[in-house]
Amino acid sequence: MLGRIFGRYAVEHLAADGKYELAASLLESSGKRFESSPSVANAKRLVYLKLIEKHQNTDPFKFIIYSSRINEQTPQIASSK
């Protein structure tokens, strides 16, 4: 219980400071340990959405990787005929 509270607090604190890469690293290192916690899942979604937002126009590879981490659909590019 204490680990779950500390993990969530640490991730939320890092996200509030704008340290999204560090928060994502913490989430990844915790692995499956906190995946059943709804509050950690919400914090994870927030962190990865912020990372997606940050890289959507500059780094398509990070955009795709971060999107896949939270099962977010990436928009398809329409082909012109």
pLDDT tens string 39-60: 888 888 999 999 999 998 999 8
pLDDT in tens, the chain (81 residues): 445 556 678 888 888 899 999 999 988 888 677 777 788 888 889 999 999 999 989 998 998 899 999 988 877 767 776
- pLDDT for the residue numbered 74: 74
Global pTM? 0.79
Where along the chain do its domains lie? 2-69
Report CA dihedral (75, 8, 10, 72) to the nearest 10 degrees.
-10
Q: Please enumerate, as own/partner, the contacts of 48-57 that have beta carbons within 8 Å and a separation of 24 or more.
A: 48/24, 48/72, 50/15, 50/20, 51/20, 51/21, 51/24, 54/20
- pLDDT for the residue numbered 81: 65
